[in-house]
Amino acid sequence: MPDAAPPKWIEPLQERDPQFAEGYLALHQSVMKDGAIPAKYKILMTMVVDAVVAHPEGCAALANNARAAGATEEEINEAVAVAYQCGGTPALVMAVNAFRT
């Protein structure tokens, strides 16, 4: 996964408990890096989860992160379809946020 700035949501945690935030970010980087599963696919998986749990901002941000990691628009389109398959119409409504750039 390309090195990116930490997400905005973690800033309060970094201020209040920097050690915990550092541990979270280290684990996140370890899990999301290229491995047996390329990073771009891991990011697309998390985008699908954000769609299913109705998190539009996360879905849009993760789709852009996936693009930055090399995901094609066709891969994002298929991930949107997977979100629909997993979460039905509510997930589809969230997943179309992946088309925001």
CA–CA distances in Å: residue 51 to residues 8, 30, 95:
19, 23, 5
User: How far, in Å, CA of 73 to CA of 53, rounded?
Assistant: 22
pLDDT (0 to 100) of residue 45: 97
- Residue corresponding to tokens 């891969």: 75
Backbone angles phi, psi at 5, to 5 degrees: -65, 145
User: How far, in Å, CA of 36 to CA of 51, rounded?
Assistant: 24
CA dihedral 4, 96, 94, 14 (to 10 degrees): 10
The pLDDT tens digits for 10-58 are 999 999 999 999 999 999 999 999 999 999 999 999 999 999 999 999 9
Domain boundaries, the chain: 8-33, 38-99
